Chains A and B, each alone.
Chain A
Amino acid sequence: MAAERPVPKILLAEDDGDDRTFFVEFLGNRPDISLLPIVANGVEMLQYLNAVSTEAERPDIIVLDQNMPKLTGKETLAALKQDGKNSEIPVIVYTTYAGHQLIEECVRLGAAMVMVKPDSREGYNQMMDEILLTCQG
């Protein structure tokens, strides 16, 4: 049996309290991922990444809410992709309504996926399944 791969660490930037609750509530018990402390917006995301020193704190996958104050998900994505070593981390943007224009722009900026915010436990888990498949498969 091959040595177990360490589970991917997920870092979420989400300004809405309820949505933060849902993320943890529905995905917190999954054995195949580990959730890093959620940051409240894009600015905090960038600050966090520039401050981390250990590998254990560095995310393997980043999820960004689109509608955030200060820096939108798309803007944070653009900043991340210019950010040296951090630009290699796969980024997923999720949003309530994924219009064509947003999808095109995010993909153009280098997002790994653009997804619709799920509205059920199953939905959240399905979303995470797809994310893992895309980023690791």
Chain B
Amino acid sequence: MSMNPAKTYDQLLAENARLLIQLEEATGTIEAIRTGQVDALVVEGANGLELYTLTTADQAYRVFIETMNEGAVTLNEAGLILYCNSAFAALVGLPLSNVMGLSFETFIATGGTEIYRELMTKGWLQTWKAEVLIQATHGTVPCQLSVTALELYEGVALSLILTDLSLQKQTQAQLKQNNERLADMNAALETSNYDLQQFASVASHDLQEPLRKILIYSNLLKDQHGREFPAGQGRYLDKIIGSSTRMKTIITDVLSYSRLSFHDSTRTITNLRVLVSEVLDDFELLIWEKKAVVTLGDLPELEVNPGQIRQVFQNLISNALKFSKPGQPPSINIECTSGPEAEAEPQATPSAVYCWITITDNGIGFDEQYTEKVFSLFHRLNTKDAYEGSGIGLAFAKRIIDKHGGTIGATSQEGVGSKFKIKLPLYQTTSN
């Protein structure tokens, strides 16, 4: 097109002003674009108005969505996938390029049509979350879906975020299974315990009855005809009576031991010094006979079952008196060696405060390699002829102490003496 040959000075000035305004606008626009104030431009182009979006404006967000672990998908009104990130493509097991343009319904596992319908209607109106089973190439994946409508590019799109719940579901299933196994084991244990207690009960009754008769008839025989036996044979009867009596003791002890868990576990604050001195009173005769010297130190008040703890001290003191060195009067010391104090725990609850009580004697002692056996059922370190007793006393004591949440141990030296150490909490928790 040919230009006008000559513009008037005024025409040139007007043109100049117009160009300046254009330049100002252009500079302003570029500035706005550069500082991110503008996301798109409408420009009058050769074919009318044209919309230009700026890819650099949401670059940061694009990177963010691309690298996040969650799957992100954008759908149009028809449910077609406009965009998805690599995480989603990986979730469904397809290359990125294959996913674009597909209907999202492709990835809803069979049976999820209802959910999909809901998604496509409610999701446009408000933020919506649900658990959906997603169909991937390798199988189904449970996902948490979070849906919201967004204004993007040429209009409104549905934006979905998918969180893979596989691991979570697996852990939940495992937990449920473990809990069920635990409940089963508990029930089995309770049944077993109950059966055992029933057995012990019945066995004891049934055993005690004939045993009683053996004892009575043996004694009758001895009383009425003991003198008639030829020399030496009279002791056969004593052996029968002795064994039967021991058997009676064992049965009673076993019954008491087995009933420990089912008997009353009422606990009250008990003054141990008073309790132990009462036990010592019961042993008055034996103490006098053996010329024993017993010293009782200050003992604390603890929350215990008085009857059971009494039995513990009865057993320990009885042992200390019984296993004395022949010819040497027993010397027994009972004292609280430390506490009440908390154990070295960062959070010391009231039940974590303990005290230690020791019973020391100067008796025959025992080889420390047998320390563990000493507390086991029926184990004896001496022949039954040398020292009477069923051998259950310490096992019984240990069971009681264990049930009180404490511990019992022993140190000893053969020919020197023994020291029994009991640790008991001040207060009981309901779990004991």
Q: Which of A19-38 contact B (CB under 8 A)?
A: 22, 25
Shortest CB distance A60–B (Å): 26
The answer to whether A117 touches B204, judged by C-beta atoms less than 8 angstroms apart, is no
Q: Is B290 an interface residue (CB 8 A)?
A: no
Query: Residues of A contacting B212 with CB < 8 Å?
Result: 96, 117, 119
Check A22–B204 contact: CB distance below 8 A.
no
B219 and A97 contact, CB distance less than 8 A: no
Nearest-neighbor residue (CB-CB) of A19 within chain B: B213
Nearest-neighbour CB distance to chain A for B226, whole angstroms, equals 14
Q: Find chain B residues with CB under 8 A from A96 CB.
A: 205, 208-209, 212
**Is the beta-carbon distance between B204 and A97 smaller than 8 angstroms?**
yes
Contact with A along B175-217 (1 / 0, CB 8 A): 0000000000000000000000000010011001100110110
**Given A120-B219, A121-B219, A121-B223, does the pair A18, B213 have CB atoms closer than 8 Å?**
yes
Distance, CA A39 to CA B201, complexed state (A): 29
By a CB distance below 8 angstroms, the chain A residues around B219 are 120-121
Q: Which residues of A contact B216 (CB under 8 A)?
A: 18, 22, 119-120
* A4 vs B215: C-alpha distance when bound (angstroms): 38
Interface residues of A in 53-108 (CB under 8 A from B): 96-97, 99
For A99, the chain B residues whose CB sits under 8 A away are 201
Residue of A with least CB distance to B209: A96
Give B339-353 interface residues, CB cut-off 8 Å to A: none
Assign chain B's interface to a size class. Answer: 10 to 19
Give Cα distance in the complex from A97 to B212, angstroms: 11
Which residue from B205, B213, B215, B220 sits with its C-beta under 8 Å from A97?
A: B205
Point out which of A18, A22, A97, A120 has the most chain B C-beta atoms below 10 A from its C-beta: A97
Interface centre among B209, B223, B248, B255 (most CB of A within 10 A): B209
- Mask of A111-137 contacts with B, CB within 8 angstroms, 1/0: 000000101110000000000000000
Look across to chain B and name the residue whose beta carbon is closest to the beta carbon of A99. B201
Chain B window 242-256, contacts with chain A (Cβ cutoff 8 Å), 1 for yes, 0 for no: 000000100000010
Q: In whole Å, how far is B240's beta carbon from the nearest beta carbon of chain A?
A: 14
User: B209 contacts which chain A residues (CB < 8 A)?
Assistant: 96
Bound Cα distance from A22 to B212, whole angstroms: 11
Q: Which residues from chain A contact B204 at a C-beta distance below 8 Å?
A: 97
Convert B229-250 into 0s and 1s, putting 1 for each residue whose CB lies closer than 8 angstroms to a CB of A.
0000000000000000000100
Closest to B214 in A: A119
CB of B113, distance to nearest CB on chain A (Å): 64
Report the bound CA distance from A119 to B215 in whole Å: 7
Contact between A97 and B208, CB atoms less than 8 A apart: yes
Chain A minimum-CB-distance residue to B204: A97
A120 and B213 form a contact (CB under 8 A): no
B residues in contact with A119, CB < 8 Å = 212, 215-216, 248
Q: Report chain A residues within 8 Å CB of B208.
A: 96-97
Quick one: which of B205, B215, B255 contacts A120, CB cutoff 8 A? Answer: B215
Residue ID in chain B nearest A122 by CB atoms: B219
Residues of B within 8 A of A22 (CB): 216
In Å, the complex CA distance between A120 and B255 comes to 22
In the assembled complex, how far is the CB of residue B215 from the closest CB belonging to chain A, in whole angstroms? Answer: 5
Q: Given the complex of chains A and B, what is the CA–CA distance between A86 and B72 in angstroms?
A: 92
Q: Hey, which chain B residues are within 8 Å of A18, CB to CB?
A: 213, 216
Of A18, A119, A120, chain B has the most CB atoms within 10 Å of the CB of A119
Q: Most A CB atoms within 10 A — which of B201, B209, B216, B223?
A: B216
Chain A residues with CB under 8 Å of chain B are 18, 22, 25, 96-97, 99, 117, 119-121
* Sample of 24 A–B contacts (CB below 8 Å): A18-B213, A18-B216, A22-B216, A25-B220, A96-B205, A96-B208, A96-B209, A96-B212, A97-B204, A97-B205, A97-B208, A97-B255, A99-B201, A117-B212, A119-B212, A119-B215, A119-B216, A119-B248, A120-B215, A120-B216, A120-B219, A121-B219, A121-B220, A121-B223
- Nearest first, the 4 A-B pairs at minimum CB distance are A119-B212, A119-B215, A97-B205, A96-B209
Given contacts A97-B208, A119-B248, A120-B215, 20 further A-B pairs with CB under 8 A are: A18-B213, A18-B216, A22-B216, A25-B220, A96-B205, A96-B208, A96-B209, A96-B212, A97-B204, A97-B205, A97-B255, A99-B201, A117-B212, A119-B212, A119-B215, A119-B216, A120-B216, A121-B219, A121-B220, A121-B223
